[in-house]
């Protein structure tokens, strides 16, 4: 099994605009909503790729969700058949917006930071991780941290596995995991 874990999923709004005019009213030609955020994007991609080979391992995602956007996120992942274990949070799931300018082909992202995770919620996430990681052949830790999350969280989680570790993070959380000697580190182009 491949375990994908992270604390910052998003309910994503994607709006197509004829032309984005900053400082003016813009009317969208179409708007779509979908589950997103690194943790879910990785989990969904692995889940869909799983069908391409008979010996592909199962995928299990571990994440958090709260509020109305969290309910939408959970429902869509269930419809897609992505196996996700959700830890309920008081903080609502963040909503991010992608603006597609059809005239220029440019994309503008408006990214909401994830709300803080309460200590009991974080403890539940860590306990679920420790339980799930026992069966993992590969572990992926993906995404940014909500405000107030200890920067060594991914490093602490990494101590519970001997499976190859993939890290998709940046800044202090990434640096804190280096002692765990991850097999793969994904660094975004904007952060190089």
Q: Tens digit of pLDDT for each residue in 80-127?
A: 988 999 999 999 999 999 999 999 999 999 999 999 999 999 999 999
Instruction: Identify the band that residue 189 occupies on the pLDDT scale cut at 50, 70 and 90.
Output: low
Report the Cα 37 to chain-centroid distance in Å: 4
Report yes or no: 65 and 71 within 8 Å, Cβ to Cβ: yes
Q: Which of 2-16, 48-62, 149-163 has the lowest mean pLDDT?
A: 48-62
Instruction: Identify the band that residue 78 occupies on the pLDDT scale cut at 50, 70 and 90.
Output: very high
Q: How far apart are CA 77 and CA 65, in angstroms?
A: 12
Q: How far apart are CA 174 and CA 118, in angstroms?
A: 22
Q: Tens digit of pLDDT for each residue in 131-180?
A: 999 999 999 999 999 999 999 999 999 999 999 999 998 888 888 888 88
Q: To which H or E segment does residue 100 belong?
A: strand 94-101
Confidence at residue 54, expressed as pLDDT on a 0 to 100 scale: 59
93: exposed, middle or buried (Cβ count in 10 Å: 0-12, 13-18, 19+): buried
- pTM of the predicted structure, to 2 decimals: 0.90
């Amino acid at each position: 099994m491949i375990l994908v874990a992270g604390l910052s999923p998003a309910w994503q709004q994607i709006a197509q605009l004829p032309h984005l005019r900053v400082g003016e009213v813009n009317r969208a030609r179409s708007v779509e909503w979908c589950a997103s955020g690194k943790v879910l994007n990785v989990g969904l991609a692995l889940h869909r790729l799983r069908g391409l080979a008979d010996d592909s391992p199962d995928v299990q995602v571990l994440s958090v969700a709260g509020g109305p956007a969290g309910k939408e996120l959970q429902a869509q992942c269930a419809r897609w058949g992505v196996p996700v274990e959700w830890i309920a949070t008081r903080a609502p799931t963040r909503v991010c917006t992608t603006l597609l300018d059809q005239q220029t082909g440019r994309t503008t992202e408006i990214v909401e930071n994830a709300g803080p995770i309460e200590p009991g919620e974080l403890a539940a996430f860590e306990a679920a991780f420790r339980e799930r990681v026992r069966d993992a052949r590969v572990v992926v830790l993906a995404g940014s941290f909500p405000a107030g999350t200890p920067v060594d969280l991914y490093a602490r989680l990494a101590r519970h596995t001997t499976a190859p570790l993939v890290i998709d993070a940046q800044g202090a959380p990434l640096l804190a995991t280096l002692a765990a000697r991850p097999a793969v580190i994904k660094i975004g182009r904007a952060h190089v």
